[in-house]
Amino acid sequence: MTAEKNVLTVDVGNTTTRLGLFRGPELAGTWELTTPERLTADEARAQLSQAVSMLGASVPDDAIMACVVPSLSDVWRRALAAFTGGRPLVVGPGLRTGLKMRYDDPAEVGADRVADVVAARDAYGAPVVVVDLGTTTNIEVVDADGAFLGGVIAPGVALGARSLAEAAARLPMIELRAPERAIGRNTRDAMRSGVVLGEVARIDGLLDAVMTELAEEAPVVLTGSGAEAMAALLRREARVDDTLTLRGLWLLWRSNRRS
């Protein structure tokens, strides 16, 4: 059965690249590395070899990847082909997703967003709302019919902090943690209030607007960098699912290899 194969899932983001190794439907381990600006196929293959070795596994039978960095897409595709000895699946046009798309142009939907939605619908049903925290903060909405309705794309919390420090000469880089109070009594706490608590308020407000447009309440799932800490700060109850994107990739692999 194809579901019993060892499958490597690769999620190449703007800031972080995450790898997940599945043994059948079970996620056996994950590996995370910083996404470089430049990378060769040989370097990517070496990283794959190191990751799989650290996870205590042999070369996987197959692979699937989602990449939102166009300059790295072919690099990773070639590295995965050389590493596994087969043709990896790539999330994009031509791949079966099982999703009804109510987006104006489905080709514009990022591969990671597709994986998020597939996994969220599978695990939590429909409707469901995903908040994916990364370089950008993405909110992805699945309606009651299980279709991808659309969502929100906003600057991520780390990007906001970096932009402040780069644009204003007297503002420092800050550690991203919530301050004890909203009214900062020093520059760093004032920035933390604006960046971290501001992001919390924005997500809460956007979720309120999303639920109003859906005309019903839907479970909220947080994934990505700092999801656990963000969930604790939100006014609205949210579940945390750190492996949502990787699991969505495996589900996409399963449905495409079976077909």
Annotated binding site: 11-18, 103, 110-113, 132, 135, 187
User: What is the maximum alpha-carbon separation in the chain?
Assistant: 61
Q: How far apart are CA 32 and CA 134, in angstroms?
A: 13
Contacts of 166 (CB under 8 A, 6+ apart): none
189 is catalytic: no
Give per-residue burial for 116-141: e unless 16+ CB within 10 Å, then b: bbbbbbebbebbbbbbbbbbbbbbbb
Q: Looking at the chain, which runs of residues are DSSP E strands? A: 6-12, 16-23, 26-34, 62-67, 89-90, 128-133, 136-142, 148-155, 220-224, 239-240
Catalytic option among 61, 62, 112, 189? 112
Q: How far apart are CA 70 and CA 90, in angstroms?
A: 12
Q: How far apart are CA 244 and CA 248, in angstroms?
A: 6
Q: Looking up tokens 């447009």, which residue turns up?
A: 213
- Binding residue numbers for ATP: 11-18, 135
Centroid of chain to Cα 253: 17
- Binding residue numbers for substrate: 103, 110-113, 187
- Binding residue numbers for K(+): 132
Q: Looking up tokens 């995903």, which residue turns up?
A: 130
Q: Find, among 142, 158, 156, the residue nearest to 99 by Cα.
A: 142
Residues designated catalytic: 112
